[in-house]
Structure 1
Amino acid sequence: MPKVTLEYKELVRTRILESAHRVFSQKGYREATMDEIAEGLGLSKAALYRYYQSKEELFREILELFIRATAKALRESFKGSRFDPETFFRIIEKWGWTPNLFFSAASEAPRNRKLRKIFSDGYKTAVDMVETFIEELKIRGIIKEGANSRLIAMGAIAIQDGLLIGEVVGLSRQETRNAFVDTIQAIFSGLLVGTI
């Protein structure tokens, strides 16, 4: 039997996550099935279960990827001492701005204990990550020392989450982009030591 390399396993995991992301985005969390995710890859359901034990596990990993993308977006948005909220939105959009997936999973979370825990953990991780980044910006002298990093992090995430829902109920991508960029810029312009 041929030996399966670590690189091959990672490639398969990535393809599974991409397929799961597509299926969750199209069908919603509740209606998505492991069968459909496997079919989208040409894998058997048994092969899929060798990599991921449940739909919840797949969703958790997709959420973690989105959180890491948000961290990357923050870092890319603060080049030197300038802040570029358009870059922030563009990176988030590329790596995880999926309103239908977010909305369907959020609406299911109150009835699904496992999913609620995934959301709760993901939210806490995201707030901690953004808060830590804001603290780093304070140390670098980019953001005012007296700014409450925790509240700013919670507010920035609330804006992002609210606009994801706004897009589900009819806002265009351009409207959500403009609202996100202008609101985040307004928040940070009051916090920066210099100018944007």
Structure 2
Amino acid sequence: MRLLIFSLCFLIACGSYGQTNPFQNLIDTALSGHGAVFISSKPIKNIQLDQKEMETYFYFFRDYAHKVLDTTMLAEIIQNSKMPDTTLWQESELKNYILVNSRDENVSKKYILQKLALTDKKQKKFYSKQINSYNSADPYNRNLFYFSRPVFDKEAKYAVVQWDNAHSRLGGGGGIVLYQLQGYRWKELGTIMNWKY
């Protein structure tokens, strides 16, 4: 019996230790799926949410996510978005991305390949090609992504993250995406609004 209790406690402790921090999981979930390689260390400061556009968000979300938007929760997020967290992104938060301080700066290929600790030749080739392309582009034409830090509702069960990829090539745009905490993991619920350049 003691062995069974000890084993059960050990499994629970291991399971808790192995779980991802929910905040880090939200960041990882929000940043994936956009094709981002290069991310600005400066988060978006002006979240493009406006209380007057609530009806627009409601219908956009319904039409594209095929879900009904909880307007009370969204009103809380809109209120909280007026004073977003503007703390610079850190390397420890964005382990699988290349953090850039300024659109004008070049990226060190040697540093990035060491940081990412790549062993696969295909991955090394992919990142080398991405870095070469980034460094050779004019600063205004670099494929640099910007992300806001998450903005939560009062209970921290829902959050939005705004992203933007403004550059002069085709394909620039952005959006605001809604996420929900389910257990210890964040799940994307859908886009509240988006735009193209």
The alignment's TM-score, normalised by the length of structure 1, stands at 0.28
Greater fraction strand: 2
Greater helix content: 1
Q: Between Structure 1 and Structure 2, whose CA radius of gyration is higher?
A: 2
